[in-house]
């Protein structure tokens, strides 16, 4: 959540920031109106409680009927105002939770993905020539033919947007997990297998229960628990309500989890195959840093994403995300898009966001400054491998003329072979 004092002291800045993210700037005015009412009630309560304290002193000396009557009326009045304050606080928090994080001042301004900017490319796209009798196949036809993917049986068992990974694809999944953990542990990351369910109040603190984001989550009402859409969602709260020593930052975690998404806003998109599914596995990075170091840390996480992709020798590009296409909680975001020859386009496989203190304020994660003050850390998250999409990228880029798929050198020991088929 945003700093309440920032909204109070610089509402125009907040309005400009959230408007860049296509949020309604009138939310700021609504917040300030309710906040002013709340502050008025708080002031009135303080005054009434001071009066109550003085009256208690008088009653301790002499219990007169008029004093007792005044005390009873005062108690009732305090109770009424406390209830009004509580109602206003709930209303204020509801509005606050609808206000997204504001982007850093120098973030690209744009309405949608068309405003994003490619900042670099890496790798050589494989060349498939129809003249040589070799037209590239899409991953699904390759996966089905080689016994690696079964979406038909998954549909019978679980419905649409599910898939079985089988044989070498299953081995490839755990190879990718081990590869990511090996590289990231060498960089000082702490390995974690986090919970895949999260309490609603904690999820709200992470800024993930607003609008379309909430609609995309699976909810278990009897338990008031949500299924996570990324390991990020429970990696952050690992430090909830805690204070770091400054010397212990940055603190970096790498987590592996199954992720669940309803894909509520994706009707009609990527309905076939395993590119956009309700359940998938992912390796995720999460970092806590000092505010002055978070931009540097962001670049470091992106460099690790590139290192992992280069280990697989997959062609990709790094994209700077504009304000209108940015994640709700992000202050700056980069994506990595990998080339898929079967679709003849780049598709997103990685995302990396600096959320500044938006999430840490929501879950109360602080650190001690050199002066001994307690300040909110910044939080960053980034994909290491989204398993399904990475396997898709491997199948399409490593396919051969004979209809086989070569295994990337970095995964051969895990898969146990150099070629599938």
- Among candidate residues 161, 251, 332, 389, the one labeled active-site is 389
Is 39 among the catalytic positions? no
| Residues near 241 by beta carbon (within 8 Å), at least 6 away in sequence | 363, 364, 365
- Among candidate residues 276, 317, 347, 406, the one labeled active-site is 276
Q: Residue 317 burial by CB count (10 A; 0-12/13-18/19+): exposed, middle or buried?
A: middle
DSSP character for 270? S
Is 276 among the catalytic positions? yes
Residue 15 CA to residue 24 CA, distance in Å, equals 8
Is 16 among the catalytic positions? no
Is 351 among the catalytic positions? yes
Whether the Cβ atoms of residue 205 and residue 362 lie closer than 8 Å to each other: yes
- Among candidate residues 289, 294, 351, 353, the one labeled active-site is 351
Is 252 among the catalytic positions? no
CB atoms within 10 A of CB 168: 23
Q: What is the DSSP string of 49-79?
A: HHHHHHHHHHHHH---HHHHHHHHHHHHHHH
- Among candidate residues 348, 375, 406, 419, the one labeled active-site is 348
Residue 383 CA to residue 394 CA, distance in Å, equals 17
- Among candidate residues 85, 92, 261, 361, the one labeled active-site is 261
Whether the Cβ atoms of residue 305 and residue 383 lie closer than 8 Å to each other: yes
Residue 330 CA to residue 240 CA, distance in Å, equals 19
Instruction: Give the angle 180-392-189 at the CA atoms, nearest 5°.
Output: 15
- State both tokens at 16: 């400009």
Residues annotated as catalytic (active site), given as ranges: 261, 276, 348, 351, 389
């Amino acid at each position: 959540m945003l700093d309440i004092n920032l909204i109070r002291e610089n509402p125009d800045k907040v309005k400009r920031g959230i408007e860049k993210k296509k949020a309604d700037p009138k939310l700021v005015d609504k917040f300030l109106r309710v906040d002013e009412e709340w502050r008025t009630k708080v002031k009135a309560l303080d005054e009434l409680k001071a009066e109550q304290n003085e009256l208690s002193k008088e009653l301790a000396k002499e219990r007169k009927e008029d004093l007792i009557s005044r005390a009873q009326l005062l108690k009732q009045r305090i109770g009424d105002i406390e209830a009004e304050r509580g109602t206003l606080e709930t209303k204020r928090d509801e509005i606050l939770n609808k206000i997204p994080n504001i982007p850093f001042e120098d973030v690209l301004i744009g309405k949608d993905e068309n405003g994003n900017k490619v900042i670099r490319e890496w790798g050589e796209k494989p060349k498939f020539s129809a003249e040589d009798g070799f037209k590239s196949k899409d991953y699904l036809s390759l996966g089905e033919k080689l016994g690696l993917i079964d979406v038909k049986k998954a549909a019978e068992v679980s419905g649409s947007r599910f898939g079985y990974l089988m044989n070498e694809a299953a081995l490839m999944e755990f190879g990718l997990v081990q590869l990511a953990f090996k590289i990231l542990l060498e960089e000082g990351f702490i390995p974690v297998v986090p919970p895949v369910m999260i309490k609603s109040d904690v999820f709200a603190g992470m800024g993930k229960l607003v609008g379309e984001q909430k609609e995309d989550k699976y909810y278990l009402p009897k338990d008031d628990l949500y299924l996570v859409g990324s390991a990020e969602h429970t990696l952050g709260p690992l430090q909830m309500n805690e204070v770091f020593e400054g010397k212990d930052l940055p603190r970096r975690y790498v987590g592996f989890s199954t992720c669940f998404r309803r894909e509520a806003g994706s009707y009609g998109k990527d309905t076939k195959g395993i590119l956009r599914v309700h359940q998938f596995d992912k390796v995720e990075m999460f970092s806590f840093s000092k505010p002055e170091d978070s931009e540097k840390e962001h670049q470091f996480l992106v460099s690790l994403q590139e290192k992992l992709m280069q280990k697989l020798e997959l062609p990709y590009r790094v994209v700077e995300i504009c304000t209108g296409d940015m994640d709700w909680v992000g202050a700056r975001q980069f994506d990595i898009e990998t080339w898929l020859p079967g679709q003849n386009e780049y598709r997103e496989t990685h995302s990396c966001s600096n959320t500044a203190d938006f999430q840490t304020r929501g879950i109360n994660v602080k650190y001690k400054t050199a002066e001994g003050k307690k300040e909110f850390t910044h939080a960053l998250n980034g994909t290491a491998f989204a398993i399904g999409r990475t396997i898709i990228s491997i199948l399409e880029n490593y396919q051969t003329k004979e209809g086989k798929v070569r295994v990337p050198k970095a995964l051969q020991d895990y898969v146990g072979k150099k070629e599938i088929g």
